[in-house]
Homo-oligomer: A and B are copies of this chain.
Amino acid sequence: MPKPDLRAMQISLGPVAVFGASNFPLAFSVAGGDTASALAAGCSVVVKGHPEHPGTSELAGLAVMRAIQKNDIPAGVFSLLQAKKINVGMVLVQHPLIKAVAFTGSFSGGRALFDLASARPEPIPVYAEMGSVNPIFLLPQIIADKGTTLATALIESLTLGVGQFCTTPGLVLLVRDAATERFLCEVETCLAGKPPGVMLHNGIKRNFLAGLNELLSIDGVVRRGSPPSSLDGCLVTSVLLQVDAKVLLDNPSLAEEVFGPSAIVVVCDSRNEMLIVAERLQGQLTASVHGSNGELASFRDLLATLERKAGRLVINNFPTGVEVCASMQHGGPYPATTDSRSTSVGTYAAKRFLRPVCYQNFPQKLLPEPLRDQNLQNLWRLVDGRMSRDDL
């Protein structure tokens, strides 16, 4: 049978509501990654600025507005809303013209927006990045071989940016053996050498201290190192806690994120118990494994489990530091995000705001330029099953 001429490409979903993140006043706020990727996808953007940095939001918003005027872009392509009350954001998500939502923040905030968007007469996708405890598995041989280096690197990662990254390690898992206590003392020493750090605003500090108190109220949770003194303003000290794996298994809330520079060391009785803890983990942005060359291969089952739990698997690196490139995946199974099929960092972040359209039997002149016979933009195109940059 003769086949019709079918050509497909991605077009924009429509206007996107972007919620500025509390912890990234620049990179994930008004002119941050969500806004950039929505604009790159051809969507207009309405930003709801985060109430903890209204001034920074205003400055960034004005810069975007100036760029729009300078380049003769229609003014409606970008808007900034500022409000302390959450109802402004709710009205935005429910507006019929909004076709997608991007959010970075707390689990409760992200889930509330997701529920609101799903209950609309026309449901829309919500890309909520809601955090992660970013488990780090330290295998026995590498602790024995490189414990000191590892202790320093772990504390560097924990305290980077005063623990205010989505990828800050919050859970450190190891198997109890002869080297464990010496290693943990080294970690404790590294931590003690770190001066207090300034968190971004009072709200973050308040939540951090409240979260820590909840963790410490659970039987079996012990603090490594001296209790922090009460500090002024947004200053905090970093904190290391320790539990036996059994306590974690009985108290799943220990594996929920406390945003800030704190981590819980989970001591497992055996390799098998470590696998059980891994199996029980919720969805994560990242999961890291540190092991010597020899032992990594014997932990393939752990890697296979973590592949189902996280968006990015890391070997012998720490998860903090998120490269902006095509191969980055910053996302993961729920509750790390509300949409594990997407990334909020890197080239493919723009894909979140696209949908495919097929053009059947179109005359050349009416086709979008990327689909015409003549490949003016020198794009890679799949033509009759073959990748090509040729004209048709």
CB within 8 Å of B: which residues of A? 3-4, 6-8, 11, 13-14, 114-115, 118-119, 122-123, 125, 283, 293, 296-297, 300, 303, 307-308, 310-317, 321, 323, 325-329, 331, 333-335, 338-341, 343, 348, 354-363, 365-366, 380, 382, 385, 387
List 12 interface pairs A-B (beta carbons < 8 Å), by A numbering. A3-B323, A3-B325, A4-B321, A118-B118, A122-B334, A125-B341, A303-B366, A315-B360, A317-B361, A328-B358, A329-B358, A341-B355
Interface centre among A8, A300, A327 (most CB of B within 10 A): A327
Q: Which residue of B lies closest to A126 (CB)?
A: B123
The reply to whether B312 and A329 contact each other, CB–CB distance below 8 Å, is no
Report copies per complex.
2
Q: Given the complex of chains A and B, what is the CA–CA distance between A339 and B123 in angstroms?
A: 9
Q: Given the complex of chains A and B, what is the CA–CA distance between A321 and B310 in angstroms?
A: 40
CB-CB nearest 6 A-B residue pairs: A329-B358, A118-B118, A6-B327, A312-B358, A314-B360, A8-B327
Set of chain B residues within 8 Å of A4, measured between Cβ atoms: 317, 321, 323
The reply to whether A382 and B326 contact each other, CB–CB distance below 8 Å, is yes
Q: Which residue of B lies closest to A329 (CB)?
A: B358
The reply to whether A362 and B315 contact each other, CB–CB distance below 8 Å, is yes
The reply to whether A358 and B307 contact each other, CB–CB distance below 8 Å, is no
Set of chain B residues within 8 Å of A355, measured between Cβ atoms: 311, 331, 333, 340-341
Instruction: Specify which of B293, B334, B348 is in contact with A123 (CB 8 Å cutoff).
Output: B334
Q: Given the complex of chains A and B, what is the CA–CA distance between A3 and B324 in angstroms?
A: 11
The reply to whether B387 and A316 contact each other, CB–CB distance below 8 Å, is no
Q: Given the complex of chains A and B, what is the CA–CA distance between A118 and B123 in angstroms?
A: 10
Interface centre among A333, A341, A387 (most CB of B within 10 A): A341
Give the Cβ gap from A303 to chain B, nearest Cβ, in Å. Answer: 6
Q: Given the complex of chains A and B, what is the CA–CA distance between A60 and B355 in angstroms?
A: 33
Q: Given the complex of chains A and B, what is the CA–CA distance between A8 and B349 in angstroms?
A: 14
Set of chain B residues within 8 Å of A361, measured between Cβ atoms: 314-317
Give the Cβ gap from A119 to chain B, nearest Cβ, in Å. Answer: 8
Having A300-B366, A311-B358, one finds 14 other A-B pairs with CB under 8 Å, namely A4-B323, A14-B308, A114-B123, A125-B339, A125-B341, A307-B357, A313-B359, A314-B361, A315-B360, A328-B358, A331-B356, A340-B355, A341-B354, A341-B356
Q: Given the complex of chains A and B, what is the CA–CA distance between A220 and B102 in angstroms?
A: 45
The reply to whether B328 and A6 contact each other, CB–CB distance below 8 Å, is yes
The reply to whether B357 and A329 contact each other, CB–CB distance below 8 Å, is yes
Instruction: Specify which of B6, B316, B327, B341 is in contact with A323 (CB 8 Å cutoff).
Output: B6
Q: A329-B357, A385-B326 are in contact. Are A315 and B363 (CB under 8 A)?
A: yes
Give the Cβ gap from A15 to chain B, nearest Cβ, in Å. Answer: 11
Set of chain B residues within 8 Å of A380, measured between Cβ atoms: 387
Q: Which residue of B lies closest to A335 (CB)?
A: B122
Set of chain B residues within 8 Å of A338, measured between Cβ atoms: 123
Q: Given the complex of chains A and B, what is the CA–CA distance between A360 and B319 in angstroms?
A: 9
The reply to whether A366 and B297 contact each other, CB–CB distance below 8 Å, is yes
